[in-house]
Structure 1
Amino acid sequence: MCGRFAQYRSRDDYFAALGIASDEITHDSQPIGRYNVAPGTRVLLLNARAGSLSLDPVHWGYAPGWWQKPPLINARSETAASGRMFASLWQHGRAIVMADGWYEWQREGSHKQPWFLYHHSREPLFFAAIGNAPYDKANDQEGFVIVTAASDKGLVDIHDRWPLVLTPDAALAWLDPATTADEACDLAHKGARKADEFHWHPVSTAVGNPKNQGADLIKESAPAD
């Protein structure tokens, strides 16, 4: 799953990795600086609206009016396109979360060890997301969720699910309103990064508190006893 991630570069860095020119969307060289992004907060979400790309602060969590449980933060790529909860979002609410890595917790004995997972070359990451578009309206109940996929290879040792990380080309296609729901399903398979592109290392348990921020959170740390 994906329940915490880092989004610390500048939007210019993410846009450059996607090949988005300055005349397509407002650029900003100031680092976003979020090393511990948690559900229930607003996250900068890249989306297509009114024929152009937009970047909006959107609530991470989705709970339509009929949903009587806590807001969902993830959606399974295998079922989201056809399920009652997410089918319309898959078709009309696709977006991208720009990130630098994410955290997973692995039970080791009586405690859980947090790990930071990232691309081996430290490239920006682009998580597939779906939500209640258009994203320029304020709604803290029906925001967005991150799409997840089944882990493979060594990632299974950390967690059985991981965010659906798309290549830059696939991320832009995911955003394109002309991409059909079926084509988006195809992107989820053929446009995803492979597990062998990622590295991971243990980090401090301080990341468990979302109030903690800063670059120290992503530094390798000796596993907790």
Structure 2
Amino acid sequence: MCGRFAQFSSRDEYLQFLNISGDTVPYDPQPLDRYNVAPGTRVLILSEQEGNCSLDPVVWGYRPEWWGKPPLINSRSETAATGKMFSKLWRTGRAIVPANGWFEWKKSGSRKQPYYIYRSDGRPLFMAAIGHAPFNSDHGHEGFVIVTTSSNQGMVDIHDRRPLVFDAEVARIWINESTTPEEAACLADKKALAESAFRWHPVSARVGNPHNQGKEIINKIDEPLT
């Protein structure tokens, strides 16, 4: 599950880790400063269109016309490639969400303690996503979802699902237009970063309100719920 994440570095930093030149995608040194990204908002995501990489602001959420429920924000990697809802997006709308970390909530009695999860080496996260391409056009409620996988060990005590996170090299293959749906399924199954690549710590319950932004949102708190 991924219901909130942080995207606070600059476009420059994300693109440099991906080895994408400023000639391909315009660089911008200004930090994005989004420490509490919520569903329903526009998020910068990376895709490949006609051989060129593109960063576009896209609505986080996907609701086709026939779906009479609230927009979905996640899809399961195990079923997205073949299921009715997401198979077309898997074929034609693979993207990457560059981020710095994400949040999960752990039950503590009748309350929930939020945790911030991030790479232990401090590098950005490249989260797999699928959506309605091309992403430089507005498709209303048909935006994108973050692809999730199971938390097999280590992180399962916080949540049994987590975003499908790739390293930079695999992320470029994921969005490559020549990568087949079958090859993408293999990446999802074999190339996600392991739980051991991440660290996490408890953070303030203020993250539950998307109006609360700022670096303090990701700071470790000394007295979490137990």
Amino acid at match of 1:27: Y
SS of structure 2 residue aligned to 1:182? helix
One-letter amino acid matched to 1:34:
R
Measured after TM superposition, the shift of residue 59 of structure 1 is: 0.3
So what's the TM-score if we normalise by structure 1? 0.98
Query: Deviation per CA, 1:160-181, whole angstroms, max 9, x where unpaired?
Result: 0000001111100001000000
Which residue identity lines up with residue 178 of structure 2 in the other structure?
A
- Contact 2:108–2:225 (Cα < 8 Å) also in 1: no
Cα deviation for residue 55 of structure 1 reads 0.5
Q: Work out the CA distance in 1 between the residues paired with 2:7 and 2:64.
A: 26
2: CA distance, partners of 1:39 / 1:139 = 16
CA RMSD of superposed structures (Å): 0.8
Query: Runs of 5+ in structure 1 lacking a partner?
Result: none
- Identify the residue that residue 6 of structure 1 maps to in structure 2: 6
Matching of residues 146-157 of structure 1 within 5 Å: 146-157=146-157
1:19 aligned partner, one-letter code: N
User: For 1:40 and 1:224, how far apart are their aligned partners in 2?
Assistant: 29
Question: How far did residue 139 of structure 1 move?
Answer: 2.5
1:57-101, CA deviations, whole angstroms, 9 ceiling, x for partnerless residues? 000000001101110000000000000000010000000000000
Shift of 1:224: 3.6
Partner AA of 1:186 in structure 2: C
Structure 1 runs of 4+ with >2 Å offset: none
Specify the alignment match of 2:175 in structure 1: 175
- Structure 2 alignment gaps of length 5 or more: none
Q: Quick one: which amino acid aligns to residue 224 of structure 2?
A: P
Partner of 1:32: 32
- Match for residue 224 of structure 2? 223
TM-score for both structures, normalised by structure 2: 0.98
Q: Name the amino acid aligned to 1:172.
A: R
**Residue number in structure 1 paired with 2:73:** 73
Instruction: Tell me the secondary structure at the aligned position of residue 155 of structure 1.
Output: coil
Size of the aligned set, in residue pairs, is: 225
Match of 2:117 in 1: 117
Shift of 1:138: 1.4
